[in-house]
A and B are shown apart, each in its own frame.
Chain A
Amino acid sequence: MKKLTLALAVSIGLVGCGGGGGGNSVELKQPTVAWDAPITPSAELPMVDGVTWDETAVRKVLHVFAFGGFASDAQIKTWADMAPNEAIVEMLTLDGYNPKLSPTIDADVLNSTDRSFLGLAGLWSGSSSPLAANRRDSFKIDSWAGPQNIAMLASSTPGVNPFPHRLAIWELNYHLVANRDADVSPEHLSTYYNAVQKSLAAHDPYQNTMAIAAGSVAIAQQYKHYRNFYDVDKNGVGTFKGNEDFAREYHQLFFGILGTSRANDLLNNYHEVITIKNTAQMLTDMTVAKDGDLELTFGTKRHHVDDLEIMHTQISGATAKDKILALAQIDIAHPESLDNLPVMIVSGLANDNLSDANITELRNYWKSMVKKDILQFIRAYAISTQFHSPNRIKYWNPAERNVLYANLTTLNQTEAYWNYYDPNGISDWEDGYSQFRPEHNVFGHTTGQETAQSGDKFLLQFNRGASAWRFSRTTDSNNASWFKNWGSIAPKDVDGKYPVEAVAEWLWQRYMADGLKHFGPLERLQLYAILGTGVDAAVACSADQANPNYDKIYSVAEATSDAAAISCRNTLAAKFMDLDPAGTDKNKRNTANARVGYAIHFMTALPYALVQEGR
Chain B
Amino acid sequence: MNRRNFLKAAGSSLILPMLPGVMSLAQAAGVPLTLTQRVLAYVGLYGGPDLRHLCPPVITLSTDTQSYAYEFWKARARSFGIATANQNLAGFANHFATHYVAVNLPGTSTPAGFGIFKEADWLIAMWNAGYVAFVCNAVGATSRDHAHAQLVLDHGDLTSTAMDRLKPGWGGKLVELIGGTSRLAALTNAPKPFCFGPLNGDPKNHQNSRVISVKNSRKMQLAEFRAAEQVGKEKWSNNVLARALRSYYSAYNPSEAHYKVFKDHETKMRNFGNQLYARLGDEQTGNIPVPDGIRQLYTAPAAGATDYRLNSTYFGGQIRNLHDVIASADILGLRVAAMEYGSWDTHQGQEAGLAKNFSDLFGAAGGFGQLYANLAPTAKDNLVITLAGEFGRQLASNGDNGTDHGRGGMVIIIGNHVKGGVYGEMFPASELAPTNKFVSKWGDDTVGLTSFEPIFGAVADWVAGGSTGNSIFPNRSSAIIESGVTLNTLFV
Given A453-B261, A462-B245: A242 touches B400 (CB 8 Å cut-off): yes
Binary contact track B236-269/A, C-beta < 8 Å → 1, others 0: 0110111111111011111000110111011011
CA–CA, A548 to B348, complex, Å?
A: 65
A137 sits at the interface (CB 8 A): no
B400 near A243 with CB under 8 A, answer yes
B65 sits at the interface (CB 8 A): no
Name the residue on A nearest B342 (C-beta). Answer: A441
Given A245-B345, A610-B262: A530 touches B244 (CB 8 Å cut-off): yes
Chain B residues with Cβ below 8 Å from A457 are 190
Chain A residues with Cβ below 8 Å from B237 are 468-469, 472, 534, 594, 598
A535 near B222 with CB under 8 A, answer no
Give the distance to chain B from A268, nearest Cβ to Cβ, in Å.
9
Binary contact track B310-354/A, C-beta < 8 Å → 1, others 0: 000000000000000000000000000000001001011000000
CA–CA, A481 to B233, complex, Å?
A: 31
Given A244-B398, A446-B190: A534 touches B265 (CB 8 Å cut-off): no
A529 near B262 with CB under 8 A, answer no
Give the distance to chain A from B24, nearest Cβ to Cβ, in Å.
35
Chain A residues with Cβ below 8 Å from B442 are 273-274, 277
> Interface residue tally of chain A, by bracket?
35 or more
Chain B residues with Cβ below 8 Å from A606 are 248
B443 near A273 with CB under 8 A, answer yes
Name the residue on B nearest A227 (C-beta). Answer: B400
B266 near A537 with CB under 8 A, answer no
B212 near A455 with CB under 8 A, answer yes
Name the residue on A nearest B225 (C-beta). Answer: A550
B144 near A272 with CB under 8 A, answer yes
Chain A residues with Cβ below 8 Å from B162 are 258, 340
Given A343-B163, A529-B244, A602-B241: A456 touches B190 (CB 8 Å cut-off): yes
A509 sits at the interface (CB 8 A): no
Partner of A453, one of B208, B347, B399: B208
Chain A residues with Cβ below 8 Å from B216 are 456
Task: From A49-57, A83-91, A553-561, A571-579, give the one contacting chain B.
Answer: A553-561
Partner of A522, one of B196, B220, B251, B345: B251
A443 sits at the interface (CB 8 A): yes
A242 near B191 with CB under 8 A, answer no
A539 near B235 with CB under 8 A, answer yes
In A521-538, the 8 Å CB interface with B consists of 522-523, 526, 529-530, 534-538
Give the distance to chain A from B395, nearest Cβ to Cβ, in Å.
14
B405 sits at the interface (CB 8 A): yes
Chain B residues with Cβ below 8 Å from A259 are 143
Chain B residues with Cβ below 8 Å from A245 are 345, 347-348, 404
A240 near B144 with CB under 8 A, answer no
B145 near A459 with CB under 8 A, answer no
CA–CA, A450 to B244, complex, Å?
A: 27
CA–CA, A472 to B237, complex, Å?
A: 10
B244 near A224 with CB under 8 A, answer no
A224 near B258 with CB under 8 A, answer no
Binary contact track B262-302/A, C-beta < 8 Å → 1, others 0: 11011011000100000000000000000000000000000
A420 sits at the interface (CB 8 A): no
A559 near B345 with CB under 8 A, answer no
B19 sits at the interface (CB 8 A): no
A252 sits at the interface (CB 8 A): yes
Partner of B399, one of A241, A248, A458, A466: A241
Chain B residues with Cβ below 8 Å from A552 are 247
Chain B residues with Cβ below 8 Å from A432 are 189
CA–CA, A535 to B252, complex, Å?
A: 20
CA–CA, A449 to B167, complex, Å?
A: 13
B245 near A466 with CB under 8 A, answer yes
B4 sits at the interface (CB 8 A): no
Give the distance to chain A from B240, nearest Cβ to Cβ, in Å.
5
Chain A residues with Cβ below 8 Å from B259 are 607-608, 611
A309 sits at the interface (CB 8 A): no
A42 sits at the interface (CB 8 A): no
A199 sits at the interface (CB 8 A): no
B240 near A462 with CB under 8 A, answer no
Chain B residues with Cβ below 8 Å from A530 are 240-241, 244
B215 near A535 with CB under 8 A, answer no
Give the distance to chain A from B271, nearest Cβ to Cβ, in Å.
11
CA–CA, A319 to B345, complex, Å?
A: 28
Partner of A252, one of B145, B235, B247, B248: B145
Query: With contacts A243-B399, A269-B445, A607-B254 known, what are 6 further pairs, Cβ within 8 A?
Result: A241-B400, A243-B348, A456-B213, A458-B262, A465-B241, A467-B241
Q: Which of A's residues lie within 8 Å of B, judged by CB? A: 223-224, 227-228, 240-245, 248, 252, 258-260, 269, 272-274, 277, 340, 343, 353, 393, 395, 432, 439-441, 443, 446, 449-459, 462-463, 465-469, 472, 522-523, 526, 529-530, 534-539, 550-556, 559, 594, 598, 601-602, 605-608, 610-611, 613
What are 8 A-B contacts with C-beta separation under 8 Å?
Answer: A243-B347, A243-B348, A243-B400, A340-B162, A459-B265, A465-B245, A467-B223, A523-B248
The 5 nearest A-B residue pairs measured at CB: A455-B213, A241-B399, A468-B237, A466-B223, A456-B215
Q: Which of B's residues lie within 8 Å of A, judged by CB? A: 46, 142-148, 162-163, 165-166, 189-191, 196, 208, 211-216, 219-220, 222-223, 225, 227, 234-235, 237-238, 240-248, 250-254, 258-259, 261-263, 265-266, 268-269, 273, 342, 345, 347-348, 398-400, 402, 404-405, 441-445
